[in-house]
Amino acid sequence: MKRIAVYCGSNQGVRPEYAAAAQALGALLAREKIELVYGGGSVGLMGIVADAALAHGGHVIGVIPEKLNMREIIHHGLPDLRIVKDMHERKALMAELADGFIALPGGYGTFEEFFEVLAWSQLGWHTKPFGLLDIAGFYRSLLVFLDQTRNEGFIRPQHRELVLVADDAETLLQKLKEFRPPSEVKWIK
């Protein structure tokens, strides 16, 4: 695994555990010589994960749309910043660059980016692993909902298993490294 895309909040959230987890993940990726691909911002958990990776000698690739390329948001210390036309190009480039995906706590943007690449996997468009870093139970309700969608027949059991979960970065990274994709895509039985 050479690169991991991290989706996370442009805010820090209310719990200090979120910032600590972002810092730990950035440092871990740097120690493991795994490049960080992320949204290119200097704010919130985005900035924390990038700063931690950089502080520990990691390589960081930021991908930011033109409309968000503002002095107050953009991370000016990145060795590799790619400015793209819009969010569609951002998501496509991040998915192309990454060998796996991790979502830290975040909001609508984090969920949207994570679920889009997850749906692409279900469709068989790629076989890269996904992980939720479930800090302080942040994703607990979402995981219950995903189980309900499986139980109601909207997600096949093997596709529900695409979402790997851990409450610490080391365990989650190991799960991503050990991941084996399902052999069937959405419509094939």
* Domain count of the fold of the chain: 1
186 domain residue, yes or no: no
Residue 43 half-sphere exposure toward CB, CA atoms < 13 A: 13
Q: What is the CATH number of the domain that holds 100?
A: 3.40.50.450
Q: Domain range spanning residue 16? A: 3-178
What is residue 73's predicted lDDT score, i.e. its pLDDT?
Answer: 83
What is residue 146's predicted lDDT score, i.e. its pLDDT?
Answer: 97
How would DSSP label each residue in 39-91? --BSSHHHHHHHHHHHHTT--EEEEEEGGG--TTTB-TT-SEEEEESSHHHHH
Mean pLDDT of all residues in the chain?
A: 94
| Confidence (pTM) | 0.94
Which residue positions in the chain have pLDDT lower than 70?
Answer: 70-72, 185-189
What is residue 185's predicted lDDT score, i.e. its pLDDT?
Answer: 64
What is residue 183's predicted lDDT score, i.e. its pLDDT?
Answer: 75
